[in-house]
């Protein structure tokens, strides 16, 4: 099954392009070499020898020195629709994703109102078919209105096309409610994605609890707020043999809990965000909420190292941006009052390439694998470079330097944690569901033959 | 120095420059006409989003003593009440072309943000639980007058450190001036990781006799509802500074307002070793010095000091 069949996207012409002499890297398929990538009718027709791909009736792109990866899949995006279209909508959010090399994203359900009924899902899917540049899947809330009390009509929501369930933004504080949802999952399927924090332990916290919060006088969110909830929920999932996905891991303790749960046979997957993999709570000393206030908060260097190690060994199987757009007026206020969240779709790959791959911390192949690792936990086929597959390709120039924000953003919001940073590695073209979803403005097609 | 946002940003030399300036203003306070023309024709705005008595009144009086025009804005009853953002309020006040904006705000980093939005010099008069630099400066000033240089002085900060911006700024300032600092309080009221500021942490007053200076913090009544302490009675039993725990050679300080009978016994407050009244008096001259340094300072000597016979502080142990 292709992304176009499973998710929703605005129909467009199928691509007919040859990526001449691209370095093709798909670690999962075992592909690593220079090829002419021939895309015909939206499918990868062949990986031909360099310079030998058939060019009749196709655009030719000189991709020498560039990398063609399976395009990325983000299981955690806030498209803010319905209700907060001033921050993002389906068009701007999917344009941002396409610019970041993504061929598919999952939209969170914590909108206004939350996505809690089949009608909500149906309306969003229709909007996506009208305006989404890349395929979008929608999650529905686990509890009605995200109130944490009653379950949504999960069977009907699945029939309407909800890819899974999440109350993301809020934890499901009541263990009995979550247990019922996990039991009910047997009827309807659909992975339940969990925002893990103990609301009592998090309290009024706005950053990681540690020496930096002590100095700044900001209320802290202790690491155990996250890890104790994951421990609880992993135990519940194991008890019911249910399928859960834990969102945005931030703490070393959480990594340990997930690792132990996996070893114990629990059906659990996990994600980490680029900002938690690249930054620590030291950044908060700037008291800049636009770039450094999010939930979960940036944690210590040892937490960051634990996340990187878990990404490397597969305890964390995917990168998820938790792309959370906010407008200036929600961020141009003192740190404690500012909205939580940063955008990430346009910079995820470039940031991780710059911060982890170039210094030698993480292998490029592992990063490429984890960038698309968010599909499988939700039953979405992993993007691949294998001939015959639907074209889902990110063509990247790993040597290109660019300064984030200099040319504006595709997103409607500007709260990028990378704002002002110079990154190395840039997405030049994105193919999603067989269509050309993005091409860098300064990068023209059809220049070489 | 362009703004005064945090003690953390000041060097020891900058702190000493402000304190030296304050010494010279102490003389002005003894004149019949307690005013100098330094800031004539310039505007100082005080913008207070939190209730304050001593900080607001001393900044206001400091501005007036320096002959500045003063605009005092309190959050209650102003456009802030009507939902105006801090950024818009600052833009509005900036239209008066103020030389300085003195701001108190319930949230950390507010003064720093204001500094990005205005041409005026910004003075942080307390931002959330983060910093209160003018308080730290007046406390160092008070102690320096009594003890001379603070190098090696053993200072204990006792009480609710978690919720106290005074504790943070003073800890940083005392360390910068060379003092050895111990923070003391129940574990629930000591922020995790505060040792990063170079202090020792203890949870009992058993060794308080080691201190030359005991700096008690205000204990707010609502803390007991949030289960930081079981009761004020139990808190006082373990952490109240009274004349039994305090020896006569130790100095006692408190930023005010005091909860008499909670963090301090009435006797201790009124004892001769209490510097609380001196701290209040120091507040005025130190805040004059801050405004002077920011608006007229630089390397120039204070004009009022020229040809004046500036009285020197009396060293400790000598008759005043």
Residue B76 domain-assigned (yes or no) = yes
Structure token digits, residue A15: 């691509």
Tokens of B233: 């009675």
Q: Report the predicted TM-score, pTM, of the whole model to 2 decimal places.
A: 0.93
**Is there a domain that residue B262 lies in?**
yes
pLDDT for B298 equals: 62
**Whether B64 and B195 share a structural domain:** no
Decide if B13 is inside a domain: yes
Tokens of B211: 């201190």
Q: Which of A8, A120, A168, A322 is catalytic?
A: A322
* B195/A211 Cβ within 8 A: yes
Query: Which residue stretches of chain B have pLDDT < 50?
Result: 299-320
Domain that holds residue B82: 7-131+283-305
| Interface residue B197 vs chain A (CB under 8 A) | yes
Mark whether B158 and B194 lie in a shared domain. yes
Reported as a single tens digit per residue, the pLDDT across B69-100 is 999 998 876 777 678 899 999 999 999 999 99
Tokens of B77: 């009853």
Does the CB of A403 have a partner CB in chain B at under 8 Å? no
CA A89 to chain centre: 16
**B249: which residues sit within 8 A by CB, 6+ positions away?**
B212, B273
CB contact under 8 A, A333 and B85: yes
Do B151 and B124 fall within a single domain? no
In sequence order, the 6+-apart residues with CB closer than 8 A to the CB of A297 are A205, A206, A207, A208, A221, A250, A281, A284
The count of other CB atoms within 10 Å of the CB of residue B29 is 12
Chain A residue closest in CA terms to B113: A334
Q: Does the CB of A260 have a partner CB in chain B at under 8 Å?
A: no
Which one, of A78, A68, A84, lies nearest residue A32 by Cα? A68
Same domain, B177 and B236: yes
HSE-CB of A249 using CA atoms within 13 angstroms: 34
B88 touches chain A (CB under 8 A): no
Give the three-state DSSP class for B8.
helix
Strands lying side by side in the sheet with A136-140: A72-77, A102-107, A136-140, A164-166, A191-194, A243-246, A267-272, A318-319
Pair B23, B141 in one domain = no
Q: Identify which of A210, A214, A335 has the shortest CB distance to residue B108.
A: A335
Q: Give this complex's ipTM.
A: 0.89
Q: In degrees, to the nearest 5, what angle opens at C-alpha B218 toward C-alphas B208 and B10?
A: 85
Note whether B86 contacts A: Cβ–Cβ < 8 A.
yes
Q: Looking up tokens 């655009």, which residue turns up?
A: A59
Q: Pick from B3, B107, B223 the residue to mutate for testing the A interface (most A CBs within 10 Å).
A: B107
Best mutation site among A288, A334, A338, A339 for testing chain B: the one with the most B CBs within 10 Å?
A334
Residues B81, B23 within the same domain: yes
Q: Is residue B315 part of a domain?
A: no
For chain A, give the secondary structure using H, E and C. CCHHHHCECCCCCCCCEEEEEEEEEECCCCEEEEEEEEEECCEEEEEECCCCCCCCCCEEEECCCCEEEECEEEEEECCCCCCCCCCCCHHHHHHHHHHCCEEEEEECCCCCCCCCCHHHHHHHHHHHHHHCCCCEEEEECCEHHHCCCCECCHHHHHHCCCCEEECCCCCCCCHHHHHHHHHHHHHHCCEEEECCCCHHHHCCCCEECCHHHHHHCCCEECHHHHHHHHHHHHHHHHHHCCEEEECCCCCHHHHHHHHHHHHCCCEEEEEECHHHHHCCHHHHHHCCHHHHCCCCCCCCHHHHHHHHHHHHHCCCCEECCCECCCCHHHHCCCHHHCCCCCECCCCHHHHHHHHHHCCCCCCHHHHHHHHCCCCHHHCCCCCCCCCCCECCEEEEEEEEEEECCCCCCCCCCCCECCCCCEEEEEEEEEEECCEEEEECCCCCCCCCC
Tell which residue, B253, B235, B238, B243, has the closest CA to residue B155: B253
Q: What residues contact A20, with CB distance under 8 A and at least 6 apart? A: A36, A50, A51, A53, A60, A61, A62, A63, A64, A448
How many cross-chain Cβ pairs, A to B, lie less than 8 Å apart?
72
What is the DSSP-derived secondary structure letter of residue B297? I
Measured from the Cβ of residue B147, the count of other Cβ atoms closer than 10 Å reads: 17
Q: Give the sign of the dihedral formed by CA A291, CA A295, CA A300, CA A304.
A: negative
Burial of residue A379 (CB within 10 Å: 0-12, 13-18, 19+) is middle
Q: How far apart are CA B257 and CA B58, in angstroms?
A: 14
Structural domains in chain A? 3-68+388-439 (2.30.40.10), 72-378 (3.20.20.140)
Residues B53 and B140 in one domain: no
pLDDT at A292: 98
Mean pLDDT of successive 10-residue stretches along chain A, which has 449 residues: 91 96 98 97 96 90 97 98 97 98 98 97 98 98 97 98 97 98 97 98 97 97 98 98 98 98 98 98 97 98 98 98 97 96 98 98 98 98 97 98 96 97 98 96 56
User: Among B200, B197, B127, which residue's Cα sits nearest to residue A210?
Assistant: B197
B310: in domain = no
Measured CA to CA, the distance from residue B27 to residue B22 in angstroms comes to 9
Looking up residue B269, the CATH number of its domain turns out to be 3.40.50.1370
B118 plus B150 within the same structural domain:
no
Taking the C-alpha atoms of residue B172 and residue A52, their distance in angstroms, rounded to an integer, is 69
Residue with tokens 């899974």: A164
Examine the domain organization and report whether B32 and B53 are in the same domain: yes
Question: Is A322 one of the annotated active-site residues of the chain?
Answer: yes
* Rounded Cα gap, residues A128 and A124, in angstroms: 6
| Structural domains in chain B (count) | 2
Q: Give me the pLDDT at residue B27, please.
A: 87
Cα separation, A188 vs B239, whole angstroms: 59
Asked if A329 is an interface residue toward chain B (Cβ–Cβ < 8 A), one would say yes
Residue A197 has a pLDDT of 98
Looking at the structure, tell me whether residues B150 and B249 fall in a common domain. yes
From B87, B131, B196, residue closest to A211, measured CB to CB = B196
* B102 belongs to a structural domain: yes
B138 and B81 together in one domain = no
Contacts of B132 in chain A (CB under 8 A): none
Clarify whether residues B209 and B246 are in a common domain: yes
Q: Judge whether B84 is closer than 8 Å to chain A, CB to CB.
A: no
Nearest chain A residue (CA) to B172: A215
């Amino acid at each position: 099954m292709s992304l176009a069949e499973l998710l929703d996207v605005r129909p467009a012409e199928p691509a007919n392009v040859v990526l001449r002499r691209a370095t093709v890297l798909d670690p999962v398929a075992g592909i690593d070499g220079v090829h002419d990538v021939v895309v015909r009718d939206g499918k990868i027709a062949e990986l031909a020898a360099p310079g030998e791909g058939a060019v009749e009736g196709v655009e030719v792109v000189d991709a020498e020195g560039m990398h063609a990866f399976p395009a990325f899949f983000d299981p955690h995006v806030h498209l803010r629709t319905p209700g907060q279209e001033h921050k993002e909508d389906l068009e701007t959010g999917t344009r941002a994703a396409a610019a970041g090399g993504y061929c598919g994203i999952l939209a969170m359900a914590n909108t206004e109102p939350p996505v809690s009924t089949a009608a909500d899902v149906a309306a969003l899917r229709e909007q996506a078919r009208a305006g989404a540049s890349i395929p979008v899947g929608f999650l529905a809330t686990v509890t009605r209105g995200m109130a944490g009390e009653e379950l949504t009509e999960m069977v009907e929501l699945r029939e309407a096309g909800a890819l899974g369930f999440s109350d993301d933004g809020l934890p499901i504080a009541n263990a009995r409610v979550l247990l019922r949802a996990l039991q009910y999952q047997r009827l309807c399927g659909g992975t339940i994605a969990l925002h893990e924090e103990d609301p009592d332990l998090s309290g009024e916290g706005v950053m990681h609890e540690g020496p930096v919060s002590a100095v700044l006088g900001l209320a802290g969110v202790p690491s155990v707020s996250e890890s104790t909830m994951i421990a609880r929920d992993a135990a519940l999932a194991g008890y019911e043999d249910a399928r859960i996905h834990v969102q945005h891991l931030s703490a070393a303790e959480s990594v340990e809990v997930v690792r132990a749960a996996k070893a114990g046979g629990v059906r659990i997957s996990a994600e980490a965000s680029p900002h938690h993999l690249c930054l620590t709570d030291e950044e908060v000393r700037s008291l800049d909420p636009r770039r450094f206030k999010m939930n979960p908060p940036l944690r210590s260097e040892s937490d960051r190292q634990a996340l990187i190690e878990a990404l490397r060994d597969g305890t964390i199987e995917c990168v998820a941006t938790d792309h959370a757009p906010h407008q200036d007026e929600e961020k141009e206020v003192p740190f404690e009052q500012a909205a939580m969240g940063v955008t990430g779709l346009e910079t995820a790959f470039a940031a991780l390439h710059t911060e982890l791959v170039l210094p030698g911390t993480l292998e490029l192949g592992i990063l490429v694998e984890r960038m698309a690792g968010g599909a499988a936990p939700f039953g979405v086929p992993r993007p691949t470079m294998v001939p015959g597959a639907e074209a889902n390709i990110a063509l990247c120039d790993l040597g290109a330097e660019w300064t984030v924000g200099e040319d504006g953003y595709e997103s409607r919001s500007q709260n990028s944690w990378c704002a002002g940073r110079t990154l190395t590695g840039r997405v030049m073209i994105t193919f999603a569901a067989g269509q050309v979803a993005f091409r860098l403005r300064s990068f023209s097609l059809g220049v070489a033959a | 120095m362009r703004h005064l946002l945090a003690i953390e940003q000041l060097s020891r030399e900058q702190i000493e420059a402000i304190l030296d300036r304050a010494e010279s203003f102490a003389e002005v306070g003894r004149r019949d006409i307690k005013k100098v023309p330094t800031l004539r024709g310039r505007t100082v705005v005080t913008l207070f989003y939190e209730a304050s008595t001593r900080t607001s009144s001393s900044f206001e009086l400091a501005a007036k003593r320096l002959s500045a025009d003063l605009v005092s804005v309190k959050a209650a009853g102003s456009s802030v009440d009507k939902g105006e953002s801090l950024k818009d309020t600052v833009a509005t006040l900036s239209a008066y072309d103020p030389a300085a904006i003195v701001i108190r705000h319930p949230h950390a980093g507010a003064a720093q943000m204001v500094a990005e939005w205005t041409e005026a010099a910004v003075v942080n008069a307390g931002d959330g639980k983060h910093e209160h630099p003018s308080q730290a400066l007046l406390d160092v000033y008070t102690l320096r007058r009594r003890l001379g240089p603070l190098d090696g002085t053993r200072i204990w900060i006792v009480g609710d450190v978690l919720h106290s911006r005074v504790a943070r700024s003073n800890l940083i300032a005392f360390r910068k001036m060379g003092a050895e600092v111990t923070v003391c309080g129940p574990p629930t009221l000591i922020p995790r990781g505060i040792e990063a500021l170079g202090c020792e942490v203890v949870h009992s007053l058993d060794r308080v006799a080691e201190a030359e200076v005991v700096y008690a913090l205000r204990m707010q009544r609502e803390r007991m509802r949030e289960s930081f302490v079981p009761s004020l009675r139990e808190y006082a039993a373990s952490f109240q500074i009274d004349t039994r725990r305090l020896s006569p050679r130790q100095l006692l300080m408190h930023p005010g307002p005091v909860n008499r009978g909670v963090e301090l016994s009435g006797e201790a407050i009124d004892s001769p070793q209490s510097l609380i009244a001196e701290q209040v008096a120091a507040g005025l001259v130190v805040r004059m010095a801050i405004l002077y340094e920011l608006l007229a300072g630089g390397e120039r000597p204070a004009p009022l000091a020229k040809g004046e016979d500036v009285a020197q502080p009396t060293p400790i142990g000598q008759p005043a």
